[in-house]
Amino acid sequence: MGNNQSYKNRALASLEGKWTNGIIAAVIYLLITGCVGQAGSIMFDGITGYGVSGFWWLLCMPLEWGFTVYFLNLIRNEDIAYERVFDGYKDFIRVGLAEFLICVCVIIGCILLIIPGIILSLMFSQTEYIMKDDPQISAADAMKKSAEMMQGHKMELFWLLLSFIGWGILCVLTFGFGFIFLLPYMSSALSHFYEDLKAENA
């Protein structure tokens, strides 16, 4: 396994000549998950508004998967056509179930004093990549495999994620505009983390 800086350097190297692809993928993702969802909740008040937001959140789960594995394709020099961001909808039930189960586990963990939620989030962090590499694996088995792969590596991933906090603050100061650059950078680094983890568990 590498260190934080090595993953960041490898991410930048992978994005060289592909920043436009990464930025457009981030814009698509942010517009659909954020702007459209927010517009729906504004249009409807009260319980209806929460219902619309909840439905949109469920509908966007496969998009979350597609955006994550898009950058696995990118660092592997595979197909990064923009429609790849929507690949999760080709396997809606399996992918949607995995994303839903992870969210439920993390939410329950957060209710139990936050830290368990963080631990569960780290445990299941590789599920999306695993499902990308194994189209036949079930959601539950992918989550189990992720937990096994992350044994002894949760703190490494935690510190890698934390190392981006400064960039996150800068993005907030730019009224969110900076996230179209940060998301490709961060997602590529996390994809390289998975590649090392996969190689270690081969």
pLDDT (tens digit per residue) in 150-189: 999 999 999 999 999 999 999 989 888 899 999 999 999 9
pLDDT digits (tens, 9 = 90+) for 19-28: 999 999 999 9
Helices (H), 18-164: 19-30, 37-43, 46-59, 61-75, 92-111, 115-123, 127-133, 139-149, 154-162
- The structure's pTM equals 0.88
Residue 44 has pLDDT above 90, yes or no: no
